[in-house]
């Protein structure tokens, strides 16, 4: 069978048009351990297109322009320790959107906006991760 997509890319990847994609790339690397797969910049150093791997997902993004204005991007991410990610995100400059709490669907979830403009919804099923009290 003929390969129809680049090696390592899923069939569907979200694409974010942001005012500051470099800020989101750096945030994702630091908070989630993301790995940049490709970054194409224009002559002025603006990110025209980038792909970053987070676990088994790939997020693509690019710089906003007059032709392509920034759009609201929301991503939902299941993680084992919502509270740890929440506090580390805020320490990295994220803005609070919604405090972590138990939701009607049973998830423990909270939201924050990264410095580049992506709103992240971090969740886990069931109870929040247990914390050591020692």
pLDDT tens-digit readout, 89-102: 999 999 999 999 99
CA 8 – CA 105 distance, rounded (Å) = 32
Q: Which domains does the chain have, with CATH numbers?
A: 15-125 (3.10.180.10)
pLDDT tens-digit readout, 27-48: 999 999 999 999 999 999 999 9
Closest CA to 61 of 98, 26, 112: 26
No. of helices (H) and no. of strands (E), the chain: 2, 8
What's this model's pTM, rounded to 2 decimal places?
A: 0.88
Q: Which residues contact 28 (CB under 8 A, 6 or more apart)?
A: 34, 52, 54, 59, 114
Split at pLDDT 50, 70, 90, the class of 9 is confident
């Amino acid at each position: 069978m003929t390969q129809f997509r680049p090696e390592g890319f899923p069939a569907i990847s979200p694409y974010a048009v942001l005012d500051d994609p470099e800020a989101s790339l750096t945030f994702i690397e630091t908070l989630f351990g993301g790995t940049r797969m490709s970054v194409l910049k224009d002559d002025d150093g603006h990110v025209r297109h980038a792909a970053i791997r987070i676990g088994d997902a790939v997020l693509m993004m690019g710089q906003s322009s007059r032709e392509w204005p920034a759009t609201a991007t929301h991503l939902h991410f299941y993680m084992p320790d919502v509270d740890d990610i929440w506090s580390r995100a805020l320490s990295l400059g994220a803005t609070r959107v919604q405090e972590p709490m138990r939701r009607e669907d049973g998830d423990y979830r909270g939201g924050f906006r990264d410095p580049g403009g992506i709103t992240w919804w971090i969740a886990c099923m069931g109870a929040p991760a247990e914390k050591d009290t020692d």
